[in-house]
Amino acid sequence: MAPAYKAIPNILTGLRLGAGILMFLLLAGATSGFPFVSAWLSPDDQFAMYRTGFWIFVIAASTDWIDGYLARRWNAETRWGAILDPIADKILVTGAVLGVLTSGSVQQIIIPCGLILFREFAVSALRETMAGRIKLPVTLAAKWKTTLQMVALGCQLFARNWDGWGLPFDYLPAFQLFSDALIWLAAIVTLWTGWQYFSAAQKQMRDL
């Protein structure tokens, strides 16, 4: 029987999945996403909800590295963990993208956000369709892609609540420009890794 501590990586992955959903609900609620509740929220309440959603995102995103590290260190890698980990990542990223888009005034990043979502759904559909026929292991580039996505989205969430942090607006344009460039870069890398997966799938299908 495996030691109880070896379940910790999967527990962290499960918590990240739940955190992604909770984060999205907080971000959506902070931007009037709940018609009957939002009317009772003051601006301070909305800022507090947004900040809480941001910190949940930061903490949850950090567990993406921790659970993988612990699983490898403790030789606790499981099939369930391998399935759940990319799902948790996609829920966290998708929730953050939708949270950013609900904040408004994001015309300059609608395209990269859309491309990120399209790629994630397409690769998920590819894996599901080809399950049992070909193997598409997660590549190192895809892992770095997820890290870049999370850093870019974290910067976007931070910028969207700039006044809630009490920061001077003089620095906001430069930080926003940096955040926008980062999410465009994330979208480009995301598409590139998606192309890698589809190319690998096509090659394996030819070899069958």
pLDDT, tens digit, for every residue of 89-130? Answer: 999 999 999 999 988 778 899 999 999 999 999 998 888 887
pLDDT at 80 over 70: yes
At 26, is the pLDDT very low, low, confident or very high (cuts 50, 70, 90)?
A: very high
Amino acid identity of 119? R
Measured CA to CA, the distance from residue 6 to residue 12 in angstroms comes to 11
Tell me what pLDDT residue 1 has.
Answer: 56
pLDDT at 77 over 60: yes
Nearest to 175 by CA among 187, 186, 163, 190: 163
Measured CA to CA, the distance from residue 2 to residue 176 in angstroms comes to 48
Q: For the segment 139-178, what is each residue's pLDDT rounded down to a tens digit? A: 788 888 999 999 999 999 999 888 888 889 999 999 999 9
Measured CA to CA, the distance from residue 156 to residue 61 in angstroms comes to 14
What letter does residue 104 receive in the DSSP assignment?
S
pLDDT at 188 over 60: yes
Measured CA to CA, the distance from residue 191 to residue 171 in angstroms comes to 31
Tell me what pLDDT residue 118 has.
Answer: 96
- Kindly state the percentage of the chain with pLDDT values over 90: 49
Tell me what pLDDT residue 132 has.
Answer: 67
What letter does residue 170 receive in the DSSP assignment?
G
The overall average pLDDT reported for the chain is 88
What letter does residue 34 receive in the DSSP assignment?
S
Measured CA to CA, the distance from residue 41 to residue 33 in angstroms comes to 11
Measured CA to CA, the distance from residue 94 to residue 115 in angstroms comes to 11
